[in-house]
Chain A
Amino acid sequence: MFLRLLSDGRWWTASSRWRNMASSRNSATIATEPHLISLPAQAQVVVCGGGIMGTSVAYHLAKLGWKDIVLLEQGRLAAGTTRFCAGIVSTARHVSIELKMADYSSKLYQQLEQETGIKTGVQIHDRTSISHVLVQKGHVTGVETDRGQIQCEYFVNCAGQWAYELGLSSEEPVSIPLHACEHFYLLTHPLKKPLESSTPTIVDLDGRIYIRNWQGGILSGGFEKNPKPIFTEGRNQLEIQNLHEDWDHFEPLLSALLRRMPGLEALEIMQLVNCPESFTPDMRCIMGESPTVQGYFVLAGMNSAGISYGGGAGKYLAEWMVNGYPSENVWPLDLKRFGALQSSRTFLRHRVMEVMPLICDLKVPRWDFQTGRQLRTSPLYDRLDAQGARWMEKHGFERPKYFVPPGKDLLALDQSKTFYKPDWFDIVGSEVKCSKEAVCVIDMSSFTKFEISSTGGQALEVLQYLFSNDLDVPVGHIVHTGMLNEKGGYENDCSIVRLNKRSFFMISPTDQQVHCWTWLKKHMPSDSNLLLEDVTWKYTALNLIGPRAVDVLSELSYVPMTPEHFPSLFCKEMSVGYANGIRVMSMTHTGEPGFMLYIPIEYALHVYNEVMSVGQKYGIRNAGYYALRSLRIEKFFAFWGQDLDAFTTPMECGREFRVKLEKGTDFIGRDALMQQKQNGVYKRFTMFILEDHDTDLDLWPWWGEPIYRNGCYVGKTTSSAYSYTLERHVCLGFVQNFDKKTGEGLVVTPDFINRGEYEIDIAGQRFQAKAKLYPFSSLFTQRRRKDEMELSSYQGK
């Protein structure tokens, strides 16, 4: 455990200075005058919430040069969770962006003492509550408070556990999925010999508790297994009054404390504090701009790590507002990873009861939440479930992981948690084998599907501008392309089918539903002749993978499906069984031969039944996403959200061939890519094959393992899988080139990659790895089309 805990004894003093600092302009007013000063009529930014998040955002906005900021707090400054929080700054986090935020925060807090007294330009008004946010034409125009209106351009919702409600009370509701749980910690009188302020903070994860010095006594709280969600119905006077100490509920944590430190038995109790904390559906905080209201920003849902994240989160959000995008990839925290579907109060109540205990649990790989499930399902769900499907969830959609054959039992949920070889190993192996030798069917209906059409050439025009590849292809062609930002980074990675001259069908990852929609809407001209439609729910997608897929389909359609008649990356609308109008696409997202079938949902069961019955003689079977993952990783296919993000360009992941710099029109990110082409890249997506790793006995790589080149750290893996074909583990990750003296990033050339000895560090043990910039061509069996030919010719150089 490389647990680095920072017991910040100075935090309590720091926090009071923080307050002085942030309110420097009128600190005197707050401290002495009982009268409220009148609100300004307008401001550039209104921040709601005077807790650590609100003040941090205001501070960083001011630092970035914005002068006209008003911060509103309904009670007193730093009076909510921030006031009652246990004040622990910990930088041990398991999501890397969270780690960066926490690291920045802890450094910031140490600096703050020197920084106090700087003029910031932030006006603070406490005892002012916002009733709702005014919106016009999808843009924030002001806020309505109990003390009058303020016109503003930007609004920041840092209302902590009230953020959900405040979001809903906007004229255009903004869904911010978080829910409060009661949280208890104990304060004691000082020890006989009072604890020194240098006493380290202790976190006992097995006991689910934390302990730190508090005025010579201790402060100890924890995250119980049976949390008490609160305020489900919103701000509820009855519940607020009942926020009493609940000793019976605290009993397991007290037992854990006395088990760890029996000597504390004689310590006298001062108080048991009940301070609700807010939690999010995936245990990651929420930041970013609302997908529905421009200028409406959110920073909330800290999962009880507000103090740790406060500094960093505030900085990123301020950068986001000022520069349009933060300086780090914050997608894991982006509000747009959620949709309205995660906003049900019942869902949130149930989910946070599962999330809160997880804070102290070991985070095992491939963990699936158990609550709030079966929300979005394919019409085939029951059929697949009856055949042994085990499910995982993405963006509320149930997706099969693998199929447990009849008569075979997997371990119970609790026993299946492992960092070693998992119990599904052989099951997935046989699914992979079947898709290599016969044919498998995977239900991939969760993909986000949009249709863009226009009366004239507008659709093509806008897509050419938004996507890096050339979309002016013959009707029926499929184009893999990135949707890039100004810096050339991937905002989305998708496949686009040209259905006819004027309309396109776009397939994106499941969790792109909100983000991609928002991006397209933001960049599309408001032309009534240009139509964007979300058709995700209209189609069931079946992926037929394997060499015999061709036989199954031709038997069902009486149409020859061989590569001569149906080349790779091609789409045809045809009949399958009795059902007409099925979009059949010759791609499988894995590099294996086969077809994706996009089926209007009412035909889904029919087509599935037909495929399964005809496929029987070809050895067809169901498969799940784990098999898909193994197949795509051994082929070096990168997936957006896992390997690719807004800070990765096509040049950095060997996808130059999917960029047409000279397609005749400009596109977003072109300049950045041009420059990168000239200057070279600073990181390079690389595939590693573990050499001396024992699959049965060694810990498995999952993701996030450090990569060493000639003994030096050069980057981290982003995804990994066991390749049943190579009988080796394959890790994908980015290699950087740090200057030995300055630590500065240098250009990474193919040569740099190829001329190195690599090791992957799995939990402290290093394994030799072979680096490759291109996949094993022997794994491809099918004849390739043009762009893949390009790939192999590039490889030849």
Chain B
Amino acid sequence: MCVCPGPRRIAIPVRSSRLPLFSDAMPAPTHLFPLIRNCEIGRLSSAVCYCHHKHLCCLSPPHFAHNHLRYAPQKKFATLHRPKENFNQFIHARSYVSTPQKFYLTPPQVNSILKANEYSFKVPEFDGKNVSSILGFDSNQLPANAPIEDRRSAATCLQTRGMLLGVFDGHAGCACAQAVSERLFYYIAVSLLPHETLLEIENAVESGRALLPILQWHKHPNDYFSKEASKLYFNSLRTYWQELIDLNTGETIDVKEALINAFKRLDNDISLEAQVGDPNSFLNYLVLRVAFSGATACVAHVDGVDLHIANTGDSRAMLGVQEEDGSWSALNLSYDHNAQNEREIERIKSEHPKAEEKSLVKQDRLLGLLMPFRAFGDVKFKWSIDLQKRVIESGPDQLNDNEYTKFIPPNYHTPPYLTAEPEVIHHKLRPQDKFLVLATDGLWETMHRQDVVRIVGEYLTGVHHQQPIAVGGYKVTLGQMHCLLTERRTRISSVFEDQNAATHLIRHAVGNNEFGTVDHERLSKMLSLPEELARMYRDDITIIVVQFNSHVVGACQNEEL
């Protein structure tokens, strides 16, 4: 069978797409629709093969592995990156081999796929008074990789005010994204804690008393935490807060600084844990997988009207703003750290000798390999060559046998080339700021930000904020009004299919046709792609939509004035 690595965010040599790097200990997604898989798979794959041959990108695996440097940044891959075009080819190609039968997923089947990972959280109302500036959030994920490499987290800070939400896009496996999704919020929460609370917590641990809960997680059942590593993670976290206690500056805590410190500290801990290793062989292997894989992070901290976005990598935070006339506009609250960001290119160039200028960014990738320019993990881009070799040699056999880990990036002279330090943007929420979308690049590469904000905005406000009709002084008959209203209702009825804004957005991202409306046929085809092929048409998509409470935001604003 014909396989190819597709538009992975890290272009690396692989033998088989089924064993990208390490086989992660995650259950494979269940095969949802055997009917389609059995009947259509042949046709689908032959169609895709056809398209591959056209693009000359279907290479024999051994050849590929040996010539990664030349072939990894294949330009042809980039075309695969745009699913629309790609998809048309797919349909076009399909016509050559088409049979009269059609196999589509029924709408309920489509829904069950789209809704499998959806999660909603409503900030509880107390006696009708909502004290949080957040009404609640919807989140969802649609995998393209098997297993999915994206992660998401959401939690309420219990010892300080505020709520944390984040999306994490993993590459070269999901180990790093998983670890960051479990650990980062603890690091942030600890960074935000006042000295007295840290002391209290430390004393509790010291004397074996029950710990103050720091975070209340809001998790989908599929969002798991690693039980085995919890002790290890906890010890690292404890060391961090012990240092914070010793450092006690007595200054008030700045959220921006806290976020930056937490990001950097966690990345540092990931790196250290891999260098030190663990006597338990499972854990030892785990910390290495975490360090050698990578993840981007886009995290929001919301406390009253203060919204902080800390971003590392190319996930994005977008604010949905409702203008006075009711229309929607998008406000970027993060900068992508990739080759499209000139400031990032400048930054990287400034950090390395002039001699390397040409080799730093090639084919829009860091060292010609990595798409995001900032990330957690990815020690291949951070450690010295010596260190990498030493760790791999002393590491477990699985590590030693792996082509990717052994391979040192080209033109690797002055590491580190990569950092996890986030860019933090502070925004004061205003009553017109209705919601925030956090999403991995899987969404942003298929949809324009303006469309994203419009679709979510119209979804969240439903019909009520659709320009209200007023009769005013006009002559309107009951019949005319009736026609107008029925028409408006049919327009929005599709919205009510989804109870979750993130699901609604995914439906559009995957199923939109050229007219910007969801095409069921297209949606059905995209979702019934076998997992081996899905990655070529779309990336993992993870979305969190946070809805703000304009009443509370307005009230907070007035208080501050």
Q: Give A residues with C-beta under 8 Å from B.
A: 186, 188, 232-233, 238, 244-251, 254-255, 257-258, 264-269, 271-272, 344-346, 349
Q: Please determine whether B128 and A345 come into contact, CB atoms closer than 8 angstroms.
A: yes
| Complex contacts, B489 vs chain A, CB 8 Å | 248, 251
In the assembled complex, B250 has its CB within 8 A of some CB on chain A? no
Cα distance A396–B531 when bound, in Å? 52
Closest partner residue, chain B, to A231 (CB atom)? B128
Cα distance A266–B127 when bound, in Å? 47
In the assembled complex, B477 has its CB within 8 A of some CB on chain A? yes
Cα distance A258–B486 when bound, in Å? 12
Q: Please determine whether B127 and A344 come into contact, CB atoms closer than 8 angstroms.
A: yes
Closest partner residue, chain B, to A251 (CB atom)? B485
Count of inter-chain pairs, beta carbons less than 8 A: 72
Q: Please determine whether A247 and B468 come into contact, CB atoms closer than 8 angstroms.
A: yes
| Complex contacts, B486 vs chain A, CB 8 Å | 251, 255
B485 → A minimal CB distance (Å):
4
| Complex contacts, A251 vs chain B, CB 8 Å | 482, 485-486, 488-489
Q: With A244-B468, A248-B488 as given contacts, are A266 and B463 in contact (CB-CB < 8 Å)?
A: no
The B449-508 residues at the A interface (CB cut-off 8 A) are 463-464, 466, 468-471, 475-479, 481-482, 485-486, 488-489
In the assembled complex, B129 has its CB within 8 A of some CB on chain A? yes
Which of B477, B478, B486 counts the most chain A CB atoms within 10 A?
A: B478
Q: Please determine whether B470 and A244 come into contact, CB atoms closer than 8 angstroms.
A: yes
Of B127, B129, B463, B477, the residue contacting A269 (CB under 8 A) is B477
In the assembled complex, B125 has its CB within 8 A of some CB on chain A? yes
In the assembled complex, B551 has its CB within 8 A of some CB on chain A? yes
| Complex contacts, B485 vs chain A, CB 8 Å | 247-248, 250-251, 254-255
Q: Please determine whether B471 and A245 come into contact, CB atoms closer than 8 angstroms.
A: yes
Of B464, B471, B479, the residue contacting A272 (CB under 8 A) is B471
Cα distance A345–B477 when bound, in Å? 40
B75 → A minimal CB distance (Å):
50
A255 → B minimal CB distance (Å):
6
Closest partner residue, chain B, to A245 (CB atom)? B470
Sample of 17 further A-B pairs with CB below 8 A, known A251-B486, A255-B482: A188-B478, A245-B468, A245-B469, A245-B471, A246-B464, A247-B485, A248-B485, A249-B464, A254-B478, A254-B485, A257-B478, A265-B477, A266-B477, A269-B471, A269-B476, A269-B481, A344-B127
Closest partner residue, chain A, to B129 (CB atom)? A233
| Complex contacts, B129 vs chain A, CB 8 Å | 233
Closest partner residue, chain A, to B475 (CB atom)? A268
Q: Please determine whether B127 and A345 come into contact, CB atoms closer than 8 angstroms.
A: yes
| Complex contacts, A345 vs chain B, CB 8 Å | 127-128
Q: Please determine whether A258 and B478 come into contact, CB atoms closer than 8 angstroms.
A: yes
Q: Please determine whether B128 and A254 come into contact, CB atoms closer than 8 angstroms.
A: no
Closest partner residue, chain A, to B483 (CB atom)? A265
Could you list 17 A-B pairs, sorted by A, with CB under 8 Å?
Answer: A233-B129, A244-B470, A246-B468, A247-B469, A248-B463, A248-B488, A248-B489, A251-B488, A254-B481, A255-B482, A258-B478, A266-B477, A266-B478, A268-B476, A269-B476, A269-B477, A344-B127
| Complex contacts, A267 vs chain B, CB 8 Å | 477-478
Closest partner residue, chain B, to A255 (CB atom)? B482
A222 → B minimal CB distance (Å):
14
Q: Give B residues with C-beta under 8 Å from A.
A: 125, 127-129, 463-464, 466, 468-471, 475-479, 481-482, 485-486, 488-489, 551
Closest partner residue, chain B, to A186 (CB atom)? B478
B484 → A minimal CB distance (Å):
8
Q: With A254-B482, A272-B471 as given contacts, are A248 and B125 in contact (CB-CB < 8 Å)?
A: no
| Complex contacts, B476 vs chain A, CB 8 Å | 268-269
Which of B125, B469, B470, B475 counts the most chain A CB atoms within 10 A?
A: B469
Cα distance A707–B463 when bound, in Å? 52
A753 → B minimal CB distance (Å):
54
Cα distance A189–B475 when bound, in Å? 10
A257 → B minimal CB distance (Å):
7
B472 → A minimal CB distance (Å):
10
Q: Please determine whether B478 and A232 come into contact, CB atoms closer than 8 angstroms.
A: no
| Complex contacts, A265 vs chain B, CB 8 Å | 477-479, 482
Cα distance A267–B479 when bound, in Å? 8
| Complex contacts, B471 vs chain A, CB 8 Å | 245, 269, 271-272
Q: With A248-B488, A269-B476, A271-B471 as given contacts, are A346 and B127 in contact (CB-CB < 8 Å)?
A: yes
Q: Please determine whether A258 and B125 come into contact, CB atoms closer than 8 angstroms.
A: no
B430 → A minimal CB distance (Å):
16
Of A248, A264, A269, A271, the residue contacting B464 (CB under 8 A) is A248
Across chains A and B, which 3 residue pairs bring their CB atoms closest together, nearest first? A265-B479, A345-B128, A251-B485
Cα distance A265–B488 when bound, in Å? 18
Q: Please determine whether B479 and A266 come into contact, CB atoms closer than 8 angstroms.
A: yes
Cα distance A188–B475 when bound, in Å? 11
| Complex contacts, A268 vs chain B, CB 8 Å | 475-478
Closest partner residue, chain A, to B469 (CB atom)? A247
| Complex contacts, A249 vs chain B, CB 8 Å | 464
| Complex contacts, A254 vs chain B, CB 8 Å | 478, 481-482, 485
Cα distance A188–B463 when bound, in Å? 25
Cα distance A381–B469 when bound, in Å? 49
Cα distance A257–B489 when bound, in Å? 17
Q: Please determine whether A248 and B466 come into contact, CB atoms closer than 8 angstroms.
A: yes
| Complex contacts, A247 vs chain B, CB 8 Å | 468-469, 481, 485
A131 → B minimal CB distance (Å):
21
Cα distance A254–B483 when bound, in Å? 10
Which of A247, A264, A268 counts the most chain B CB atoms within 10 A?
A: A247
| Complex contacts, A186 vs chain B, CB 8 Å | 478
| Complex contacts, A245 vs chain B, CB 8 Å | 468-471
Q: Please determine whether A238 and B551 come into contact, CB atoms closer than 8 angstroms.
A: yes
Q: Please determine whether A258 and B479 come into contact, CB atoms closer than 8 angstroms.
A: yes
Closest partner residue, chain A, to B492 (CB atom)? A248
| Complex contacts, A266 vs chain B, CB 8 Å | 477-479
Cα distance A349–B127 when bound, in Å? 10
Cα distance A344–B478 when bound, in Å? 40
Cα distance A271–B481 when bound, in Å? 12
Cα distance A255–B128 when bound, in Å? 34
Of B469, B475, B477, B551, the residue contacting A248 (CB under 8 A) is B469
Cα distance A188–B471 when bound, in Å? 12
| Complex contacts, A346 vs chain B, CB 8 Å | 125, 127-128
Of A188, A269, A349, the residue contacting B128 (CB under 8 A) is A349
Cα distance A345–B476 when bound, in Å? 39
Cα distance A255–B466 when bound, in Å? 20
Closest partner residue, chain B, to A254 (CB atom)? B482
Closest partner residue, chain B, to A220 (CB atom)? B478
Cα distance A349–B485 when bound, in Å? 27
| Complex contacts, B551 vs chain A, CB 8 Å | 238
Closest partner residue, chain B, to A348 (CB atom)? B128
Cα distance A345–B551 when bound, in Å? 18
Cα distance A258–B481 when bound, in Å? 11
Q: Please determine whether B128 and A232 come into contact, CB atoms closer than 8 angstroms.
A: yes
Which of B470, B476, B482 counts the most chain A CB atoms within 10 A?
A: B482
| Complex contacts, A269 vs chain B, CB 8 Å | 471, 476-478, 481
Closest partner residue, chain B, to A189 (CB atom)? B475
| Complex contacts, A244 vs chain B, CB 8 Å | 468, 470
B178 → A minimal CB distance (Å):
36
Closest partner residue, chain B, to A218 (CB atom)? B478
B124 → A minimal CB distance (Å):
10
Cα distance A233–B466 when bound, in Å? 25
Cα distance A345–B468 when bound, in Å? 28
Cα distance A251–B477 when bound, in Å? 14
| Complex contacts, B464 vs chain A, CB 8 Å | 246, 248-249
B256 → A minimal CB distance (Å):
33
